[in-house]
Amino acid sequence: MPRSRAAALPVALPLLAATLLLAACSAPEQMKEDSAAAPPPPPAPSTVVEVSGSSNRNISPYHGYAGAPPTSMQRRVATKPYVMPYPSPSYAPGAERFPDAQANRAVLVEEQPVSTFSSDVDTASYAYVRRQLSAGRLPPPAAVRVEEMVNYFPYAYTAPNKASQPFALTTAIMPSPWNADNQLLHVAVRGYDLQRAERPPMNVVLLVDVSGSMAPQDRLPLLKQGFRLFAQGLREQDRVAIVTYANGTTVALEPTTGGDKQKIVDAIDALQAAGGTAGRDGLERAYAMAQRHFDAKAVNRIILATDGDFNIGVTDPRQLETFIADKRKSGVYLSIFGVGDGNLNDALIQRLTQSGNGNASYIDSLLEARKALQGELGSTMFPIANDVKMQVEFNPARVAAYRLIGYETRMLTRQDFKDDKVDAGDMGAGHTVTAIYEITPAARAAKLVDPLRYGAGKKAAPAGKNNELAFVRVRYKLPGESKSRLAEQPVRPTTARATLAAAPADQRFAVAVAAFGQRLRGEPQLSDYSYADIATLANDARGDDPDGYRAEFVKLVRMAESLGQAGATGRP
């Protein structure tokens, strides 16, 4: 065999494997055709890095990775147009970092009737999971955050009528599809959607990692395409600056109005990757730039684009968090777009974003860049509420136990809910937040635990409130205010749907996504609920799907099913 053909085999075989898997997971005949569905997944990379939730437990999730300078081949590749995911360079096993949080367990209502957590509108986990499945491998369990999977999708929940009351809160009760003895409580919050004419000016600093690890096509070149789309959406009253960092920091573009789009695009096109990663220096310079041009009537925000690889200067995550939290008080927020595969420091990105009152997204393709930097510009850039906390109190006369699905890294104590000094999630215009609880009715309590020998039994609910299953509270601050406001609503069992099919399509689809995330994480509650069951539930609840996101989701579920049948483990 000629040498050139032999050398091609390591790439050709993964290509063939990914092609066969894609064919195996094709949607069944009953699946609705959708012309807007995403294009087929790309070939699998020739190098796969072993990462698992357990492998990270004895390693700091904030550990940095010293990326090597780009090769001449990487520099040539970086000049080509990029549309779909591209194989990342090879990194040592365990180079990726994800938050390592144990899945929430069922809690007895008699022992702990109140559940409190911070809202989360990040979407990074879903895009990362999609990339892994499209490449022909299962994602590491630690990379799957169920709430980010669920909140990736747009939902047509009831909307509020005015910005002064920024939320509309809705609840739904339905049977659990994976446990006939249990029910699901679906809690949905939708924010007020600012029309384009209502949106305040933007004062944005793009902080771009241009270190050597950003050279591959799925990193800086992809981000440059996304930033061009971002530039096209700017208005005359908006202002953008660009700061870059590698071995040092550089101001690539002084603050420029949105009317001078060509100047902004030229600065974006000139970005090149090489060198180390002085992330702290870049953050300091970007914040200084944003504060120097601070506009009290504008949205002041830094958008950091990186693979999370900080390895020069101050790299201690706690110092970085403290620095960002302090800067948050000035009114300058931080959002982060993560890229890359192989050395992605997702754990650091998550912590920094939560400290900076921003959102975390993962960019795996130009389509995702368009969604994050153009299509969702209003919801991610324009906050309508800060420090949004959610709390659900369950009635022990009606509910024996509950389990919050996801939000493991967003849990708060009961006391945190009323403490306005405790930071929490933020919501942008038109954002939706979905939370799903699996609940065990009080009549099924004997299946969970034996009765207490000395217990006083269930406490009766106060008069007039025994007809409530739960009580939902949302606490939030309007932008610029320091004192929180409260929205609340009871959940009555009379609103429960007799069958899952009777629930609205949006709620059923959210349940399907939650089931998929739990299944990918290997949670025991879903051991008897197959990928095929999830695909059927999601396909039946697709409803209006103009952008094809839900059709794409069904295909990803089928891909995971095929990988499971083929014996894939997510490891090379």
- pLDDT tens for residues 385-420? 989 999 999 999 999 999 999 999 999 999 999 999
Model pLDDT for residues 14-42, shown as the tens digit of each residue: 444 444 444 444 444 344 444 344 444 44
92 C-beta neighbours (distance < 10 Å), count: 10
Residue 535 has pLDDT above 70, yes or no: yes
Q: What's residue 222's pLDDT?
A: 96
Question: By the 8 A CB rule, do 520 and 52 touch?
Answer: no
Spans of all domains in the chain: 107-119+156-195+383-448+463-502, 202-381
Model pLDDT for residues 258-276, shown as the tens digit of each residue: 999 999 999 999 999 988 8
Q: Which of 144, 167, 34, 149 is nearest to 510 (CA)?
A: 149
Q: 473 CB contacts (<8 Å, ≥6 apart)? A: 390, 391, 392, 393, 417, 486, 487, 488
97 SS3 class:
strand
Q: What's residue 248's pLDDT?
A: 87
Q: Give 457's pLDDT tier (boundaries 50, 70, 90).
A: low
Helix axis angle, 531-540 to 549-565, nearest 10°: 170
Among the four given CATH numbers 2.170.190.11, 2.60.40.1230, 3.40.930.10, 3.40.50.620, the one describing domain 107-119+156-195+383-448+463-502: 2.60.40.1230
Model pLDDT for residues 156-176, shown as the tens digit of each residue: 999 998 877 888 999 999 999
Cα(129)–Cα(141) distance, integer angstroms:
10
Judged by phi (left if over 0) then psi (alpha if -120 to 50, else beta), residue 127 lies in: alpha
Residue 572 has pLDDT above 70, yes or no: no
> Average pLDDT for residues 520-547, to the nearest whole number?
96
Q: Give 89's pLDDT tier (boundaries 50, 70, 90).
A: very low
Q: Give 87's pLDDT tier (boundaries 50, 70, 90).
A: very low
Q: What's residue 351's pLDDT?
A: 83
Q: What's residue 309's pLDDT?
A: 67
Residue 152 has pLDDT above 50, yes or no: yes
SS (H, E, C) 476-514: EECCCCCCCEEEEEEECHHHCCCCHHHCCHHHHHHHHHH
Judged by phi (left if over 0) then psi (alpha if -120 to 50, else beta), residue 457 lies in: left
Count CA atoms closer than 13 A to 480's CA, side-chain side: 8
Measured between alpha carbons, how far is residue 340 from residues 18, 66, 88, 89, 531 in Å?
20, 14, 7, 9, 27
Percent of the chain past pLDDT 70, that is, above it, reads 79
Q: What's residue 440's pLDDT?
A: 97
Among the four given CATH numbers 3.40.50.300, 3.40.50.720, 3.40.50.410, 3.30.1490.20, the one describing domain 202-381: 3.40.50.410
32 C-beta neighbours (distance < 10 Å), count: 13
Quick one: the chain helix, strand, coil %, rounded to 5? 35, 20, 45
Which residue in this structure is represented by tokens 């790309």?
A: 42
Q: What's residue 247's pLDDT?
A: 86
Q: What's residue 5's pLDDT?
A: 42
Pairing relationship of beta strands 249-257 and 333-338 according to DSSP bridges: unpaired
